[in-house]
Structure 1
Amino acid sequence: MTQIKFNEFVKIVKRLRKECPWDREQTNDSIKSATIEEAYEVVEAIDKKDFDELKKELGDLLLHVVFHTVIAEEQNHFTMDDLIDSIQEKLIRRHPHVFGTTKVNGSEEVKKNWEKIKLKEGRESIIDGVPTYLPALQRAQRLQEKAAKVGFDWENKDDVWKKVIEEIREMHEIEEMKKHSESKEKSQELMKKLEEEVGDVFFAMVNYARFLGVNPEEALRITNNKFVKRFQYIEDKIKASGRSVSDSNLEEMDKFWNESKSSDKS
């Protein structure tokens, strides 16, 4: 039944490509941003534990997979069967401990074998395959994880923390130099250096988060959501007095911010 339903779904998408003016105009490039958006909406539904919404968002994501494939098929790049054959073959090839005779001791060994297999498949670098367009924190984590799988990693958490402190100190030193710079050219040069040092701080913090077992992208998403909730509390409180937030001041906003923090704990 599932196969029949999937085939019917593909037929619907193909019909849309033929009969709907908007769908007919789309390309893989034109819908790629929407594909990313749909993936994030899936993540949001998972975060909210909203399974009705998750069902809808996964359906939207499936639509994009089929839509991209139908477009590619029209241009003789690959077919739906090609796509399914490719992923099936990869799953079997990269799980020799399931479909072959390889023995493993836990998930860490599975991940190491996965990277070795990918290198045998023709990748020139262990860090190939980490998408450039991933959110920067997430990409930093994935790059560090891949390097760690082949032994390029810190030996203990304390050394990672020392690196964080070192990077913060270097960033502050460049900031002080920029503050006292007397020429525009030197200031611009130091600004570029400061940007680099800030990036080093973030990278070091991602490394430390990894050692703590914390996903930095997830952690920052939680903090962003917390900030939104608390700032909107400030706005609501000020609106209740018939004013807008731009009519307030820092002292009043701080008071409502602390109220919001207290309400989070209750």
Structure 2
Amino acid sequence: MYLPSFQLHNQVAVVTGAGRGIGRALAIGLAEAGADVAILARTEEDLARVAAEIRALGRQAYPITVDVTDRQQVEQAVSQLIEQTGRIDILINNAGMNIRSQALAVTDEEWDKIMQTNLKSAFLCSQVIGSRMKEQGAGKIINISSVAGQVALRTGVVYAATKAAMIQMTKVLALEWGKYGINVNSIGPWYFKTPLTEKLLADPEYLGEIVARTPLARVGELPELVGPAVFLASEAASYVTGQTLFVDGGMTIYGF
């Protein structure tokens, strides 16, 4: 049999920042592929909506309200989930934010908030869940980075620093944890239609600039991120680790 399985039946996945946008799409996509999904975010109402969508697909949903920058809360959430499911097979570190400031205008508060939300949360969740995966002898971790971790973009120095760090963290964790049967990879999106980008992309001039720098001449649709995530979470990617898959319409071919 040469075609590997892309199915995720009988697996338990965790998605952070799963209340909306990319996180919501990935959580639902994993459920469509057969996984039961724990969705982590800070807004209970958003989680309730996504949980209902997952259950409508016939899969189990575990909504957990948590601040993923707080170690105690992360450890408590993971312990709670393990009690219910017995294992965690997949982790997608998606929680993230950006504050668009020129470098000379970045405040200490902005630096700390973006660093903690984007980078600290991904490491905390990887460390806490990775220890469980080590005990299991298997696991898949996927970090949602960005093209900003690969090429220079304006008004986002702190965001770019976190995303570049995520790419490097992915490599180091893959190197350290491969012997435990844990695959660690990342996905680097370009512009996708989400609630966070809606206002930006509604500006014809801004949209035109983005499209002009994208070989496929359009922004991405959220379902186009699901396939890469399911691939990296599945048996099909069993020999893939330490890599960043840019889902960017070709933007990183030449950058800005």
TM-score range, shorter chain: under 0.3
Indicate the structure with greater strand content: 2
**The structure with more radius of gyration:** 1
| Bigger helix fraction | 1
TM-score norm. by structure 1 comes to 0.22
The structure with higher relative contact order (CA 8 Å, sep 6+) is 2
